[in-house]
Structure 1
Amino acid sequence: MYNFKISEIDSSKSPNHGSFLQTPFWCEFKTRHGWSYRRFDVTYILPAEPDYEACENSPVQEDLVKKFELAVLNRSFAKGMFSIAYIPLMPELPLECTDEDTLNKAFSEEGEQVSVLKDLVTPETQSIEFAYLLNDLARALKPLLPENTIAIRFDPAVGFNTPEDRDLFNYGIKQIARSEKLKLKKNKVDIQPPDSTLVSLEGTTEEIMARMHSKWRYNIRLSEKKGVKINRYLGNDVKLSEKIDKFYQLTKETNARDGNSSHAKSYYLDLIKSSQDELASGKDVPVVSLYIAEHEGEEIASIMTLFSKDESIYLYGASSNNKRNLMPNHLLQWTAMQDAKEYGSKYYDMYGMPPEGKNENHPMHGLYMFKANFGGKNIHRTGSWDVPVKGIYGLYSAAEKIRAFWHKVVMKKIRGR
């Protein structure tokens, strides 16, 4: 369906925009922690529909040429016997979707039809095109990737307002893959968190705070009133090693409480130092910061963030079991949001939340409420899709599911969670 023109490019010349997961900075960082990557210029043509009939006053449909840059990460397993190619937060839908206001007017009961239904563009109207896009892009990339690659995994940049809309879209892709005999599989183990909430940084700080739940505004002010102080550290701070040690200590305390796992301490140190080192050398890279909440000389909570012009990300967080009643996590997030706004980010991504957590009986209800009540807009992405390119993929996929079940279900039950 698609004709791709793909050429490898020098990452040093790549712009620093879009998702941080696609930036040269992040890819270079991951190469120091078990990954390799390549970067490509991609061009493809979306052909006009052969049976398209233009409506009155609508433009004549023509072939659409799409161009973008693409980073492909690669991770080897079993001492290099096989590897997985991973494409985070790409590709996007072929066509730009109709804006929400127009969609709402088109389906309103007030009667004025702003557009004929066939002219409206949503993710669902592009299901066939997108299924082929993933399939054909993987096929075009295969000869350019390591010989031992067994599958190409996508985390597409396609989001929805509700998990139901997302699930319906994914169901449609599965049906298309089955009927068209595309080797496209929905992976049950998502790499990036598909569900999140994005806090808009538009408007004044007062307007941003006004969009929060009233209890969250109260908690922020309470934390300030009780004397909690927030300190920010960059990669060139003379106290950085000491503060990373504290962050890691809090991370271990959090993991023991919640039954989670984390990266090695060197991972966090490398991330924040490499950001500042590259900025100091004149490169345009995201700013990585460490925030620590302190009360009466005791450091009680911490977060690590990444700022770029397009987005700001809450990457990692940890907190002590002590003084949680002082609400340091609320003040940490609010401080980071203000800094992100001053930096120029468009929104603050809380980066991961359980979509079912709105239910009070859900075990992660507290995490859901903490993130949702900052006044953001929930987003639900498709999750990971795989295009297998070698038969061994089936065994790898089964092993991956077993591993996920062991860590997320069995081990948590063993630990009493």
Structure 2
Amino acid sequence: MYEISIKETNFSKSPNSGSFLQTPFWCEFKTRHGWSYRRFEINYVLPAEKDDKECEKNPQAEDLKKTFELAVLNRSFAKNIFSIAYIPLMPELPFECTPDSEIDAAFGDGEITEEGEQVSVLKELVTPETQSIEFAFLLEELSKALKPFLPKNTIAIRFDPAVGFNTPEDRDLFNFGIRQIAKSEKLKLKKNKVDIQPPDSTLVSLEGTTEQIMARMHSKWRYNIRLSEKKGVKINRYLGNDVNLSEKIDKFYELTKETNARDGNSSHEKSYYLDLIKSSAEEIASGKDVPLISLYVAEHEGDEIASIMTLFSKDEAIYLYGASSNNKRNLMPNHLLQWTAMQDAKEYGSKYYDMYGMPPEGKNENHPMHGLYMFKANFGGKNIHRTGSWDVPVKGIYGLYNSAEQIRAWWHKVVMKKIRGR
């Protein structure tokens, strides 16, 4: 279906834009923590069906040519016996989708002209569902084209595609369609039950004034931010070149362990966080255009009670990691932390603030993750639901690895949490 050409490259045209997971900065950081990576320039052509005269105005009826950069991370296991190639937040859909406003108009009552006449605006619509066949083949054929460039012990190529939906139901329907296409066309493509990146999140737009951004929040969240300020909570920001950074990372790590004990989660080693923030500052100081990593610490009367780590790039700001004490939670330090980071991200020039992971649903008070859902959703963002991880197996051992991966996830997410009483 596709004509794909690949060229390995060490240069990036956009080192500080797009998904942070695809930036050279992030990939090089990951190489110091157990991964390796390669960067490619991808060119593909999707020939159109020229005899489809009824769809001459459909963009999918014309030859499609695209060029994009692609970072492929690789992680080895079992003393380098096998490895997984991982492609985070790429690729995108082949065709640009019709804006939501135009789709709503197409299925509504039409538009009213200046003369007061009602006219239909129904036209050819491009949605993820209308290009699911092309997307399924893109993942399959891109994998085949990449395979010669990857380590010989690679057993699968894993994608976290940059394809998002407004509702979990739309996302699930799209994934179901991809499964059916893979089955009918005998593609190797398989939906992984264990997602690497959080597929569900909420994106807070940083457009407008700070007053307008705050106005989009739930009223209770605005109240909590002001309450935290009124009660004397102070937010201090630290960068990778601050003289007391090591001390603050120590405190952040202590809070992380306290949070993990409370919530039953796990985290990285302290050296991971220190390397991340220091490498950002060092590269910026050397004149490189890389994302900015910051550590925010909430303090009250000498007590450091909560902390978050963020990443700012030209397109997005990411809430990477967070931790809080069991003490003084009534002072709402987490609300003030997020609001402070959002203001700084806006000043930096980021377009939106990604809360980076939330339950797909949770408005119901009986939902087990209701608290986390409401905390992130009430900052006024737009919820997004990505497809999650898709795999293209390369070797037969993939089946055993995938089963072991699911068992491990079940053990940590279900069994261990029940043992800890959560």
Distance 1:43 1:60, change over 3 A: closer
CA distance in 2: counterparts of 1:24 and 1:59, whole angstroms: 33
Q: SS where residue 362 of structure 2 aligns?
A: helix
Indicate the residue corresponding to 1:112 in structure 2: 119
Equivalence map 1:238-317=2 (5 Å): 238-317=243-322
Superposed displacement of residue 16, structure 1: 2.5
Superposed displacement of residue 356, structure 1: 2.4
Superposed displacement of residue 269, structure 1: 0.2
CA distance in 2: counterparts of 1:132 and 1:172, whole angstroms: 13
Q: In the alignment, does 2:339 pair up with 1:342?
A: no
> Which residue identity is paired with 1:321?
N
CA distance in 2: counterparts of 1:386 and 1:188, whole angstroms: 10
Indicate the residue corresponding to 2:73 in structure 1: 73
Indicate the residue corresponding to 2:365 in structure 1: 360
Q: SS where residue 391 of structure 2 aligns?
A: strand
Indicate the residue corresponding to 2:174 in structure 1: 169
Superposed displacement of residue 64, structure 1: 1.2
Q: SS where residue 402 of structure 2 aligns?
A: helix
Q: In the alignment, does 2:192 pair up with 1:187?
A: yes
Match of 1:233 among 238, 258, 261: 238
Superposed displacement of residue 6, structure 1: 0.1
Q: SS where residue 217 of structure 1 aligns?
A: helix
Question: How many residues of Structure 1 are paired with residues of Structure 2 in the alignment?
Answer: 415
Contact kept? 1:86, 1:153, Cα under 8 Å: yes
Superposed displacement of residue 14, structure 1: 5.6
Contact kept? 1:152, 1:388, Cα under 8 Å: yes
CA distance in 2: counterparts of 1:57 and 1:97, whole angstroms: 15
Q: In the alignment, does 2:103 pair up with 1:103?
A: yes
Q: In the alignment, does 2:102 pair up with 1:93?
A: no
Q: TM-score, normalised by structure 1?
A: 0.97
Q: SS where residue 136 of structure 1 aligns?
A: helix
Distance 1:361 1:145, change over 3 A: same
Q: SS where residue 74 of structure 2 aligns?
A: strand
Q: SS where residue 355 of structure 1 aligns?
A: coil
Superposed displacement of residue 357, structure 1: 1.8
Consecutive unaligned residues in structure 2, runs of 5 or more = 111-117
Superposed displacement of residue 59, structure 1: 7.5
Contact kept? 2:106, 2:122, Cα under 8 Å: yes
CA distance in 1: counterparts of 2:399 and 2:57, whole angstroms: 50
1:249-289 C-alpha deviation (Å, 9 max, x unpaired): 00000000000000000000000000000000000000000
CA distance in 2: counterparts of 1:120 and 1:180, whole angstroms: 25
Superposed displacement of residue 15, structure 1: 3.2
Contact kept? 2:15, 2:25, Cα under 8 Å: no
Distance 1:210 1:103, change over 3 A: same
CA distance in 2: counterparts of 1:181 and 1:99, whole angstroms: 32
Superposed displacement of residue 362, structure 1: 1.4
Equivalence map 1:321-400=2 (5 Å): 321-400=326-405
Q: In the alignment, does 2:163 pair up with 1:142?
A: no
Indicate the residue corresponding to 2:115 in structure 1: none
CA distance in 2: counterparts of 1:94 and 1:320, whole angstroms: 45
Superposed displacement of residue 49, structure 1: 2.5
Q: SS where residue 357 of structure 1 aligns?
A: coil
Superposed displacement of residue 115, structure 1: 3.6
Q: SS where residue 190 of structure 1 aligns?
A: coil
1:230-261 C-alpha deviation (Å, 9 max, x unpaired): 00000000010000000000000000000000
Contact kept? 1:291, 1:332, Cα under 8 Å: yes
> Which residue identity is paired with 2:32?
R
CA distance in 1: counterparts of 2:256 and 2:21, whole angstroms: 23
CA distance in 2: counterparts of 1:390 and 1:171, whole angstroms: 24
Contact kept? 2:311, 2:319, Cα under 8 Å: yes
RMSD: 1.3
> Which residue identity is paired with 1:27?
C
> Which residue identity is paired with 1:327?
M
Superposed displacement of residue 61, structure 1: 3.9
Q: SS where residue 243 of structure 2 aligns?
A: coil
CA distance in 1: counterparts of 2:56 and 2:151, whole angstroms: 50
Q: In the alignment, does 2:83 pair up with 1:83?
A: yes
Distance 1:59 1:378, change over 3 A: closer
CA distance in 1: counterparts of 2:406 and 2:103, whole angstroms: 38
Contact kept? 1:103, 1:120, Cα under 8 Å: yes
CA distance in 1: counterparts of 2:244 and 2:13, whole angstroms: 33
Identity value in percent? 84
Equivalence map 1:19-34=2 (5 Å): 19-34=19-34
1:200-219 C-alpha deviation (Å, 9 max, x unpaired): 00000000000000000000
CA distance in 1: counterparts of 2:12 and 2:92, whole angstroms: 23
Superposed displacement of residue 12, structure 1: 6.3
Superposed displacement of residue 360, structure 1: 1.4
Superposed displacement of residue 361, structure 1: 1.1
Q: SS where residue 119 of structure 2 aligns?
A: coil
